[in-house]
């Protein structure tokens, strides 16, 4: 069905113009049942609520994948369902900054596994996870392995890594230019420009012989050594993209962000058409 040049999923009944049909929370169960008669793919968004520096919102890791999902909705219309985003993730080392909330790997694995199993019971078999936060990765792998054994398949797409692989100049780290551009691509007013040039404010919490360089790391005689510790001990600001190339958030632009989100949406759409051909009945 076409409304204003835009195709929307209508199930068995007419929808209002502008309805966002592919977001699960806006659909009725009959529309989901109708979709499941012809497809079994669902997109999940895994984010985090955590400090990204004074210049960035706490929801950065959810806001950007959701922005990609909104663009996927524009491209795929009635050919995909997007589940509600999981806004909490695994971010133990950023605790200590107000507003940072971590479920921890064990609980997050259980939550995600339960959600996947519920979707499996509905009839979904292909799970496409657009992940916004590196701390979630292990839990997503744990849950993915579990659902695979039931006869399904999960793909984790770490948007920031893939974007940096597609376009090396986009490569970035936590709170740097790549993420700042991603947020600008969704809503530039979410970036606090007065803090954008502040820098990482890294202090040598381990002493001058072991200068801190990035996440959990320090440098010794040219080698990178990992010393796990709260990020709050390394920086008062809370963004750390050091060692990720030229990832100063001051270089981010709205145009970069929009192009990057569009590129990622195209990538995910193409990926889904390949992924849907994967046979999920591994027990044959």
Q: Which residues of the chain form contacts with Zn ion (CB under 5 A)?
A: 60-61
Toward Zn ion, which CB reaches closer, 60 or 109? 60
Q: In the Cβ-directed half-sphere of 161, how many Cα atoms lie within 13 Å?
A: 9
Which one-letter DSSP state was computed for residue 214?
E
Kindly state the smallest distance separating residue 62's Cβ from Zn ion, in Å: 9
The CA distances from residue 91 to 139, 183, 249, in Å, are 12, 19, 21
Toward Zn ion, which CB reaches closer, 147 or 180? 180
Toward Zn ion, which CB reaches closer, 63 or 272? 63
As a whole number of angstroms, the distance between CA 159 and CA 169 comes to 15
Query: What is the side-by-side strand order in the sheet with 126-131?
Result: 81-82, 41-46, 126-131, 153-158
Kindly state the smallest distance separating residue 32's Cβ from Zn ion, in Å: 31
* Helix, strand, coil percentages for the chain (3-state, nearest 5): 45, 15, 40
* 78 Cβ contact list (under 8 Å, min separation 6): 7, 8, 9, 10, 21, 22, 35
Kindly state the smallest distance separating residue 134's Cβ from Zn ion, in Å: 8
Toward Zn ion, which CB reaches closer, 41 or 237? 237
Kindly state the smallest distance separating residue 194's Cβ from Zn ion, in Å: 20
263 CB-contact burial (10 Å; exposed 0-12 / middle 13-18 / buried 19+)? middle
Q: Which residues lie across from 202 on neighbouring strands?
A: 235
Kindly state the smallest distance separating residue 188's Cβ from Zn ion, in Å: 17
Toward Zn ion, which CB reaches closer, 214 or 280? 214
Toward Zn ion, which CB reaches closer, 41 or 62? 62
Helix (H) or strand (E) holding 153: strand 153-158
Kindly state the smallest distance separating residue 120's Cβ from Zn ion, in Å: 29
């Amino acid at each position: 069905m076409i409304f204003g040049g835009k195709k929307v999923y209508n199930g068995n009944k007419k929808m209002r113009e502008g309805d966002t049909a592919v977001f699960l929370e806006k659909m009725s169960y009959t529309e989901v049942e109708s979709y499941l008669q012809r497809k079994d793919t669902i997109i999940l968004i895994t984010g985090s609520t955590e400090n990204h520096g004074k210049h960035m919102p706490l929801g950065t890791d959810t806001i950007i994948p959701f922005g990609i999902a909104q663009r996927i909705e524009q491209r795929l219309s009635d050919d995909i369902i997007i589940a509600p985003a999981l806004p909490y993730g695994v971010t133990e080392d950023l605790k200590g900054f107000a507003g940072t909330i971590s479920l921890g790997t064990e609980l997050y694995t259980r939550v995600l596994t339960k959600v996947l199993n519920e979707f499996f019971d509905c009839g979904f078999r292909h799970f496409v996870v657009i992940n916004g936060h590196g701390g979630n990765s292990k839990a997503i792998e744990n849950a993915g392995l579990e659902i695979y054994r039931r006869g399904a398949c999960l793909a984790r797409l770490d948007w920031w890594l893939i974007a940096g692989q597609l376009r090396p100049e986009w490569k970035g780290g936590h709170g740097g230019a790549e993420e700042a551009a991603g947020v600008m691509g969704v809503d530039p007013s979410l970036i606090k420009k007065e803090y954008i040039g502040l820098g990482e404010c890294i202090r040598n919490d381990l002493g001058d012989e072991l200068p801190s360089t990035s996440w959990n790391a320090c440098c010794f005689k040219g080698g990178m050594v990992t010393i796990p510790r709260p990020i709050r001990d390394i920086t008062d600001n809370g963004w750390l993209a050091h060692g990720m190339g030229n990832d100063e958030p001051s270089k981010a632009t709205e145009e970069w962000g929009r192009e990057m989100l569009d590129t990622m949406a195209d990538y995910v759409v193409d990926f889904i058409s390949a992924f849907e051909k994967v046979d999920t009945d591994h027990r044959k």
